């Protein structure tokens, strides 16, 4: 399974594999075996269905209750398996964000809440000393609480503090994870980030996370659109089968330009 799909944008292949019962079989293994008997290849086989991101595939996984089984794996003793499970949860939640209106609560919130997943992820965030797990768990909570108030003030404070601490991290993947999460927070009125916080984020990086646009979006259109705010250094637009996945990154040369672009995009649509 890993050889078939790892790092490949093959939505049709993934869909056919799901229809054939591969995901159901993985769920059966996770739910019936002792956690100690579940080894890394099983979770990796499930993870490759979530990456690269695909809204359609993530929706199928949600309907198959994959979040329930991934949450179960967070009780595993193997840190690698915990990390893979968290990464898969993040991927599914991201697709829920980019496929729905950002003024509405996350479509998968109720499922995660009913499974006790929110408390489990927050507990992991508080207790883990592993950087990747802490980053992923913080991101999960930011995404799932879109347009919704967090139940505990300390949850919000701890998460924001952590994300700010890694926004300039030397590792690019870690840095991007923090940027994505913080930009999601900026669009959540319940978090009420101060102006200073917004400027701090945009001064730390010229990179913007953009999403919720059509599959016909092109790099050339984005470049022309964002150059009205300043010089565009690069654009990353993930595609599947030649079509946009509905999200991407725009990197501006000047931090001030990225702030102007963000303020504009916050009030308008790219569609």
pLDDT in tens, 64-121: 999 999 999 999 999 999 999 999 999 999 888 878 877 789 999 999 999 999 999 9
* pLDDT-based confidence at residue 195 (cuts at 50, 70, 90): very low
Residues β-bridged to residue 209: 249
Name the residue among 49, 45, 81, 48 with its Cα closest to residue 62.
Answer: 49
* pLDDT-based confidence at residue 242 (cuts at 50, 70, 90): low
Outline where DSSP puts E strands in the chain.
Answer: 207-211, 232-236, 239-240, 243-244, 247-252
* pLDDT-based confidence at residue 253 (cuts at 50, 70, 90): confident
How far, in Å, CA of 245 to CA of 35, rounded?
34
- Write down all domains in the chain, each with its CATH number in brackets: 11-187 (1.25.10.10), 198-266 (3.30.70.330)
Tell me which DSSP letter residue 73 carries.
Answer: G
pLDDT in tens, 8-50: 557 888 899 999 999 999 999 999 999 999 999 999 999 989 9
């Amino acid at each position: 399974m890993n050889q078939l799909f790892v790092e490949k944008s093959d939505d049709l292949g993934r869909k056919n594999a799901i229809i054939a019962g591969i995901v159901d079989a993985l769920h059966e293994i996770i739910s019936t075996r002792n956690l100690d008997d579940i080894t890394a290849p099983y979770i990796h086989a499930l993870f490759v269905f979530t990456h690269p991101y695909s809204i359609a595939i993530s929706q199928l996984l949600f309907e198959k209750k994959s979040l329930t089984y991934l949450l179960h794996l967070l009780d595993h003793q193997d840190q690698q398996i915990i990390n893979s499970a968290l990464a898969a949860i993040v991927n599914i939640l991201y697709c829920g964000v980019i496929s729905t209106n950002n003024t509405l609560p996350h479509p998968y919130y109720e499922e995660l809440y009913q499974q006790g997943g929110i408390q489990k992820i927050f507990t992991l965030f508080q207790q883990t000393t592993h950087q990747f797990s802490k980053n992923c768990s913080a991101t999960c909570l930011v995404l799932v609480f879109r347009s919704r108030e967090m139940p505990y003030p300390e949850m919000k404070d701890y998460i924001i503090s952590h994300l700010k601490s890694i926004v300039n991290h030397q590792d690019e993947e870690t840095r991007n994870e923090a940027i994505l999460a913080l930009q999601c927070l900026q669009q959540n009125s319940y978090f009420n980030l101060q102006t200073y916080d917004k400027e701090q984020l945009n001064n730390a990086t010229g990179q913007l996370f953009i999403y919720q646009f059509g599959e016909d979006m092109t790099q050339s259109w984005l470049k022309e659109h964002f150059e009205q705010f300043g010089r565009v250094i690069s654009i990353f637009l993930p595609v599947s089968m030649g079509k946009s996945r509905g999200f991407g990154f725009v990197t501006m040369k000047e931090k001030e330009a990225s702030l102007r672009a963000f303020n504009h995009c916050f009030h308008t649509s790219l569609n």
